[in-house]
Structure 1
Amino acid sequence: MKPKIFLLEDDIELNDTVAQFLRHNDFEIVQSFDAEDAKVKIFETHFDLWLMDVKVPFQSGIGLLSELRRSGNDTPAIIITSLHGVDDATRGFDAGCDDYIRKPFALKELLARIEAVIKRRYKSSDNLIKIDENRIFDALNFRLTVDGEKVALKPKEAKLLALFLQNPNKTVTKEEIFDHLWDYGETPNEGSLRTFVKVLRKHLGKDRIETVKEVGYRFNDRNMGEFL
């Protein structure tokens, strides 16, 4: 499953260039050219990272980010600012961004920053999280390996595992899971969620994922802490 990035940039040529480059590097990209359209798309879909230009129509990228953070959305974000926007970086961090990049930038630098932010979200110096001696999860590509063999997880199963690894030893509510796994227009299904959990327990061990009755689930990370 490809990491999904939201790109807000009103320069059509730059937007298309960045989108094409990131798709070539195995990311799924959703493009937007103004803040009003961005709000709709961010509300409708879960993203793994937001890439936001500061100066866009209707509202600044920083203002939009600040608004999203106040609503409780903690999706990682990188702010794009002009070379002369010396105060944008400070305001961006104050608003809740994880990093920033100044125009003009090299596409390879942008890719490196995106990968670094995604890796930091999983608290790893690289993509691979060692769950235990036999199980490894690729946080960038959402792939699970058990005893050296790749496990064929469905997209929502992989996204659920990623969510658990982001919140070790914390109760994740059913509502949070529904918002994370099901896109706008899809109807969350508790039966499907139970099936996803059952599949993950099969590969991780039955006691790894604890059911919190009437609330949600808790991922037990007693053997975690090592990263490759």
Structure 2
Amino acid sequence: MSSPAVLVSGLTVGFHGVPVVRDLDLEVHPGEVVALLGRNGAGKTTTLLTIAGDLTPQGGTVSVAGDARRRRLHQRARRGLGLLTEERCVFMDLTGHENLKLGQGDPRRALAFFPELEPHLSKRAGLLSGGQQQMLALARILAGRPRVLLADELSLGLAPLVVERLLAAIRNAAQDGAAVLLVEQHVALALEAADRAYVLADGRIALTDTAATLLTRADDIARAYLGAEAV
């Protein structure tokens, strides 16, 4: 197997000196989708933002695309990291086409992922539906051929058909060689899209296995979500 595109070792991170994530080990290889699961407050988004460079670790190391130095988000973005947050990452006063031009890739490649956006590109992004805005944000990232893609709660508030389209595009990105880390509240959706998964409980890894195996371990996942130690 190739070297991990994301390698997290002994990560501890928190706020005002209080750890939220403790001694976390995690890796994502090129070409795979890895889900990071857990109840609200488990530390999923904190982990994702620390990998992205938006938060500073209290301890441990984070290596992205072979670089283990502490980098800020804009520095990691220049080295091939794409971050899709649960908020709509679009410029509401710009048109769809103007939003795509701000990315690192060709807008025509972006439309290859979501051709349904093309009739709406002349509209201001603020006039698009939530699903169209999320497609626009993801298309802009994918057009730049990211080496690492971090996606946080991309399904939030969206219709199931839109979520299927977004997850299919993420799977296609992995098939093209991207390493994808997906934070998602909907366990079944995440496991169906992922190759492997980690389940966080109170800032620590409670379970990790292939997605196919975890789909058969619903009771263990439930115990992890409730804070009990899984077997």
TM-score of the pair, normalised by structure 2: 0.26
Larger radius of gyration: 1
What TM-score, normalized to structure 1? Answer: 0.26
